[in-house]
Each structure stands twice: as structure tokens, then as C-alpha cells.
């Protein structure tokens, strides 16, 4: 059941399949983290139109139970930034431009189509671009599936096996106010000094792949004279990415050891994940990609995804997969070739069928939808 839309992109001749229509509609609905309701309702409506059990749970995830041999899951939310939704002619055919087309609405829509075609379990999660609240909630409110395919852009011929972990924190310092000509270090300088020492510990090595290094990034900083004029204050938010060779605890301890002035509040800690390329799931993906005429590539991502969360809580095989060039994530020129989207759907369907999805359908959730959830 398609939702009526007057968006011009939906009138383009290239939007000629149900999958492409769903993709374009979802990209056309703003779904920044925390504001996913409209997109979630459209996604739930797609499953309802195909007579699939579906509900939106208490945190906002779209859950469509099915054969739990494979759980297809991707995130509904996007980062901020408006990009006009339109179809453009690219080198390899029509491309859909718009925020989320690559990260990760292309993955989300391709998985929804594959779930309907094969009967696989499906969950569209919220909040991946912020706190991964949808994934954390999911792992606390359902049993582990047999296998997970997490939707993130890898290119239709790529399979992502690993992600670095994430440490987030906030540094806070204060110092007495005084004339700027005084040699005493103020709070801003204390913040700069501590961060310089942290960067020195994890100084980049040009001979080592980025995936195997700890990288440091300040993401926000504020400082200056306090409101009452009696002190100088500094607050810096930062991120550290953690490779599989290290643990978040180890990286945190090394950073804390350099702290002499001020305090650090560690707000997020997500371990890295690296899966074996020789698993049955990875093997089946390689075979399916080859059957579609592709050349399989095994990838390691320098960022962090919901796959890290699932690996922390569930002991099952998993990979990340989805159409799109991940170098376009969060950029102002985010766009997805529609032929690549179609190829990803075919690969996902082939993978599910090779794994026996649909041979014996079982419920994906250990809990039934409550009246409250079903009414949402």
C-alpha cells in the first residue's frame, strides 16, 4: 500500500519498482535522530500492506517478526542536513539524491523488500546516529537471532566484517579569572594541554592502517569567562575510536593518566567488533555477490555502528551490508545509484534463500507485541 505523495522524485520514470518507490518515499521523509516517527510509520505501513505482523515498539523501532534464521536490521534515522530529493542521471544510470539515501535508508529499504520476499525477520531501529538507543533496547527486549545482517553502506559488492569501537567523553576545567597578561594557565589552556598529551599518546602512524589505530577527535569546545565573571571555564567534548587490538578500558586509562587539571566524564563506551571472514554467512554473501556478477570485497570500517552493539550483547554470526558508497555518508552530495540498490536487494534475497530462510518460519520475538506497542 503506497502512501500518496506529490514529491516530484516519485514521478520520475526511474521509480518503476516497489522497492525504488519505498526508498524514494523514505528518503523524502525527514528522519533525523529523535524525529523518526513519520518514517517509521511509513515503513510499518509497507509491512502491513504485505500482510506481515508489524508494530512500533516503545522506543520507536519498527519490528516485523519472521524467520529468525536471519535478522535483517538497519537504522531509520539520519544525520541533520537537507539535500533536495531528486533523481539525477549518473555515469551508471539514475541516482537518487537526498539525505539518508546512502546512510542508511538504502540499506533499510533493500532489507524491507528482502524481508517481505523471503519471510526473514526485520527490525528498523532508531537512534543509530546518536546513542544507538534502538539497538540497545532491542538487545534487551528480544532473544538473539541465529544470524544478523546489519544494514550499512558497503557497496553492493562489499561485506563489512569489522568496526572500531567508540569512547566519548567531556573534559571540564575551571580556573580563577585574571588579566590575560598573566602567565598562569587558564582553563582553556588546561583543556588544550591535556588534549595535546592525549593526541601524543595515540599519534598516527602512517605505516599502520587507520582501522588498527586509536584516532582522536574533538567534536565541540566552549570556553571563556564565567557568567559571574569570577572564573574561566572550558568544556570540550571528544571521541576516541578504538581498534580491535585494544579495549575501551585500556584507552580510557591511558587518557586518564595524562589528566592533572580538570575532570573527564566518560559518556559512551562501545567495544570494537571484528568477525571471521570464513564464517558461513560471509561465504554465502561472497557466493551471492558473484552470482550477481560482482567481485566480493571484505571491508573494515573506521567508524562504529549498531553491529558493535549487537556483538556486545548477542553471540551470533553477523556482517554489515548495504548499497552505497560510504565515503558519501553525512556529506552534502549523498546519493545512491538505483541500479546498485536493485543489486543489493537481489543479493539479500539470494543470501536469505541460501541460508534456508522461509523453509521453517518461526517468530523472531520472545515477547509478543503489547497492546500499547500495537496501538502505536
Binding residues for Zn(2+): 75, 103, 129, 152, 330
Tell me: do 308 and 367 sit in the same domain: yes
Tell me: do 189 and 260 sit in the same domain: yes
Which of 217, 244, 270 is a domain's end point? 270
Tell me: do 12 and 132 sit in the same domain: yes
List of residues 6+ apart from 259 with CB closer than 8 A: 194
Cα 269 from Cα 86, distance rounded (Å): 38
**Ranges of the chain whose pLDDT falls below 70:** 1-6, 176-183, 227-230, 360-376
Which of 252, 270, 288 is a domain's end point? 270
Cα 338 from Cα 344, distance rounded (Å): 10
pLDDT at 2: 41
Cα 284 from Cα 342, distance rounded (Å): 19
CATH at residue 26? 3.40.630.10
Cis peptide before 222 (omega within 30 of 0): no
pLDDT at 274: 96
Tell me: do 141 and 30 sit in the same domain: yes
Q: Catalytic site residues?
A: 77, 128
CATH at residue 201? 3.30.70.360
pLDDT at 22: 97
- Within 10 Å of residue 162's Cβ, how many Cβ atoms? 22
pLDDT at 14: 87
Cα 307 from Cα 299, distance rounded (Å): 14
Cα 161 from Cα 147, distance rounded (Å): 13
pLDDT at 374: 34
pLDDT at 184: 72
Question: Does residue 3 sit within a domain?
Answer: no
The pLDDT tens digits of the residues spanning 118-173 come to 999 999 999 999 999 999 999 999 999 999 999 999 999 999 999 999 999 999 99
pLDDT at 157: 98
Residue 38 domain boundaries? 8-164+273-375
The pLDDT tens digits of the residues spanning 67-114 come to 999 999 999 999 999 999 999 998 889 999 999 999 999 999 999 999
Tell me: do 316 and 191 sit in the same domain: no
Integer-rounded Cα Rg, in Å, for the chain is 23
pLDDT at 370: 38
List b or e across 249-273, with b for residues whose CB sees 16 or more CB atoms inside 10 angstroms: eebbeebeebeeebebeeeebbbbb
From start to end of the chain, where are the E strands?
Answer: 55-56, 62-64, 67-75, 86-90, 93-97, 120-125, 147-151, 158-163, 165-176, 215-225, 231-242, 263-270, 273-274, 297-301, 317-321, 335-337
pLDDT at 6: 58
Q: Which residue has the cell 556483538?
A: 311
How many folded domains does the chain comprise?
Answer: 2
pLDDT at 375: 31
Tell me: do 298 and 366 sit in the same domain: yes
Amino acid at each position: 500500500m503506497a502512501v500518496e505523495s506529490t514529491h516530484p522524485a516519485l514521478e520520475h520514470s526511474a521509480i518503476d519498482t516497489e522497492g525504488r518507490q519505498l526508498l524514494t518515499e523514505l528518503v523524502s521523509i525527514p528522519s533525523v535522530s529523535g524525529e523518526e516517527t513519520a518514517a517509521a510509520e511509513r515503513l510499518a505501513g509497507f509491512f502491513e500492506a504485505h500482510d506481515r505482523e508489524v508494530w512500533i515498539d516503545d522506543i520507536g523501532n519498527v519490528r516485523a517478526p519472521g524467520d529468525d534464521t536471519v535478522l535483517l536490521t538497519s537504522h531509520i534515522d539520519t544525520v541533520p542536513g537537507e539535500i533536495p530529493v531528486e533523481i539525477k542521471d549518473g555515469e551508471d544510470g539514475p541516482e537518487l539524491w537526498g539525505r539518508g539515501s546512502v546512510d542508511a535508508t538504502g540499506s533499510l529499504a533493500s532489507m524491507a523488500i528482502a524481508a517481505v520476499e523471503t519471510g526473514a525477520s526485520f527490525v528498523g531501529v532508531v537512534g543509530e546516529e546518536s546513542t544507538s538507543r534502538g539497538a540497545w533496547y532491542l538487545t534487551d527486549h528480544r532473544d538473539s537471532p541465529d544470524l544478523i545482517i546489519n544494514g550499512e553502506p558497503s557497496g553492493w559488492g562489499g561485506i563489512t566484517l569489522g568496526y572500531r569501537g567508540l569512547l566519548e567523553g567531556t573534559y571540564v576545567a575551571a580556573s580563577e579569572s585574571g588579566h590575560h597578561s598573566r602567565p598562569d594557565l587558564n582553563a582553556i589552556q588546561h583543556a588544550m594541554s591535556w588534549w595535546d598529551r592525549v593526541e601524543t599518546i595515540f599519534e598516527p602512524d602512517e605505516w599502520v592502517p587507520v582501522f588498527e589505530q586509536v584516532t582522536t577527535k574533538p567534536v565541540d569546545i566552549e570556553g571563556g569567562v564565567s557568567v559571574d565573571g569570577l572564573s574561566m571555564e572550558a568544556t570540550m567534548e571528544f571521541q576516541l575510536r578504538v581498534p580491535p587490538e585494544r579495549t575501551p578500558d585500556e584507552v580510557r586509562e591511558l587518557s586518564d593518566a595524562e589528566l592533572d587539571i580538570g575532570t573527564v566524564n566518560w559518556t559512551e563506551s562501545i567495544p570494537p567488533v571484528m568477525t571471521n571472514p570464513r564464517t558461513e554467512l560471509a561465504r554465502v554473501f561472497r557466493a551471492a555477490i558473484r552470482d550477481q556478477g560482482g567481485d566480493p570485497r571484505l571491508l573494515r570500517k573506521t567508524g562504529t555502528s549498531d553491529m558493535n552493539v549487537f556483538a556486545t550483547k548477542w553471540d551470533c554470526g553477523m556482517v554489515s551490508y548495504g548499497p552505497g558508497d560510504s565515503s558519501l555518508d553525512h556529506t552534502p552530495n549523498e546519493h545512491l545509484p538505483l541500479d546498485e540498490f536493485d543489486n543489493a536487494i537481489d543479493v539479500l534475497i539470494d543470501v536469505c534463500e541460501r541460508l534456508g530462510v522461509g523453509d521453517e518460519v518461526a517468530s523472531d520475538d520472545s515477547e509478543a507485541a503489547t497492546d500499547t506497542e500495537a496501538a502505536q
